[in-house]
Amino acid sequence: MIHSPYIRKPASIQRVMLTVLIALLPGIAAYVWQIGAGILVNIVIASVAALAGEAAVLALRRKPVAMALGDGSALVTAWLVALCFPPIVPWWLTALAALVAVVAVKQLYGGLGQNPFNPAMAAYCTMIVAYPALMSQWPAAGQLDFATQLQLILGSTRDLDAITGATALDTMRTGLRVPDATVDSVRQLGAFGLAGGKGWEWLAAGYLAGGLILLATRVITWHMPAAFLTALAIISGAFWLVHPGQFASPLFHLASGGAMLAAFFIVTDPVSGATTPRGKLIFAAGVACIAWLIRSFGAYPEGIAFGVLLMNLCVPLIDMKTQPPVFGHRGGRAP
């Protein structure tokens, strides 16, 4: 027998995921414009791999395939994987990463809603540990035309010297290791634009626009992006004020790498993130602090993925300790 309530809001997981995909479009458009259309190829490769991998596992687990594929969550993961990876990684790396994300991180934990880790970030970490060289080849903005990108993605051979590129984050990190280098001297190196990496400000703006779409459609709440960006700004700002020569400015951190993508699309993953309002603030701020530490002192140019995974580990504790008081029990203790 069906019980009350007998009416439902016309909402669905498909709708949520579709909104996320649409919100990614401004960022993708900026990506194509500034870096090149190769990203579209990567998105297609990741999507196909993710859907195929999910279908295969579901069939093996004897679960209904169509409904799970139709919910769109695999596509969101696939797009995020593609957007986080360098646009010129070979096709098999992208496909492998998408499979790792969907099969190992999501389905093996029980499918949608069950995974304790953010699938895209777990795949990113796996790949940067396994293929550090391939994962750090980023072309500078406008450096490579589409044909070259396509050849790099699909071709079997790659001439590493021909594509010496490094992100602004990478340049900043390695540049500052040189004796007597300062932020200002490193910034002369050409990888930099107005605020972050050259051309990357536009991507950041695109993701920001998408993030506003997500906020307006109530797919995400303000807590995570606000806490993430504020914490990143505060921690980088504090060190920058004390040692402007040694540490990059908050503006640089916010506009570089995946900060905007992470703020609106990655830390906000509901499944693996904290759920209470206070928990969300703690979670996102934690990711930002870890990311800044790794960016500034770690062995990798970008630390957001590691930050997300580490904070994923803390989610049960965060959620437990931040249960909001219930109606009529304000001031009472949390369970």
Partner 1 sequence: MIGRLFNFRGGIKPDAHKQESAASPIRPAPLPSRLVVPLRQSTRATSRCLVQPGQRVLKGERIGEPEGTLGTAVHAPTSGTVVEVGLHPMAHPSGLDTRCVVIEPDGEERWIEHAPFDHRAAGRERSLAHLRECGVVGLGGATFPSHVKLGRGSGIDTLILNGAECEPWITCDDRLMRERAPAILAGAAILRELIGARRLIIGIEDNKPEALAAMRSAAAGIEGEVAVVAVPALYPAGGEKQLIRVLTGIEIPYGKLGGDFGVQCFNVGTAHAVHRAFACGEPLVSRVVTLTGNVAAAGNYEVLIGTPIDELLPLARPRSDTDRYLMGGPMMGFALPRLDVPVAKATNCVISASPALFPPPQPEQACIRCGECARACPAELQPFELYWFSRAKNFGKAQEYHLFDCIECGCCAYVCPAHIPLVDYYRFAKSEIWARERDKSAADAARERFEFRNFRQDREKEEKAAKLAAKAAETRAKLASGDDSKAEPTAPAPAAEDPKKALIAAALARAQAQKQEVQPRNTDNLSQDTQAEIADIEARRRQQGTAHAAASPAVAADDNPQ
CB of 56 to partner 1, least distance (A): 19
Quick check: 6 binds partner 1 (CB under 8 A)?
yes
Task: Residue 308: name the closest of 132, 138, 130, 119 by CA.
Answer: 119
What element of type H or E holds 133?
helix 132-135
9 burial via Cβ count (<10 Å: 0-12, 13-18, 19+): exposed
CB of 101 to partner 1, least distance (A): 16
**Which one among 156, 159, 177, 328 touches partner 1, defined by CB under 8 A?**
328
Q: Which residue has the tokens 């009416």?
A: 7
Question: Which amino acid appears at position 183 of this protein?
Answer: V
Residues numbered 260 to 299 that lie near partner 1 (CB under 8 A) are 270-271, 273, 275-276
Task: Residue 141: name the closest of 262, 52, 59, 256 by CA.
Answer: 256
CB of 273 to partner 1, least distance (A): 8
Quick check: 116 binds partner 1 (CB under 8 A)?
no
Contact 141, 197 (CB under 8 A): yes
Quick check: 111 binds partner 1 (CB under 8 A)?
yes
Quick check: 118 binds partner 1 (CB under 8 A)?
no
Quick check: 316 binds partner 1 (CB under 8 A)?
no
Quick check: 329 binds partner 1 (CB under 8 A)?
yes
The upper half-sphere exposure of residue 192, i.e. CA atoms within 13 Å in the direction of its Cβ, equals: 21
CB of 133 to partner 1, least distance (A): 36
- What DSSP line would sit under 53-88, residue for residue? HHHHHHHHTT--HHHHHHTSHHHHHHHHHHHHS-TT
**Which one among 51, 221, 226, 239 touches partner 1, defined by CB under 8 A?**
221
CB of 3 to partner 1, least distance (A): 5
| Bond into 5 cis (ω within 30) | yes
* Contacting range for partner 1; rule: CB under 8 A; set: 112-120, 164-172, 206-214, 234-242: 112-120
Quick check: 333 binds partner 1 (CB under 8 A)?
no
* Binding region for partner 1 (CB under 8 A): 1-9, 11-13, 15-16, 67, 71, 73, 111-114, 219, 221, 270-271, 273, 275-276, 319, 323-330, 335
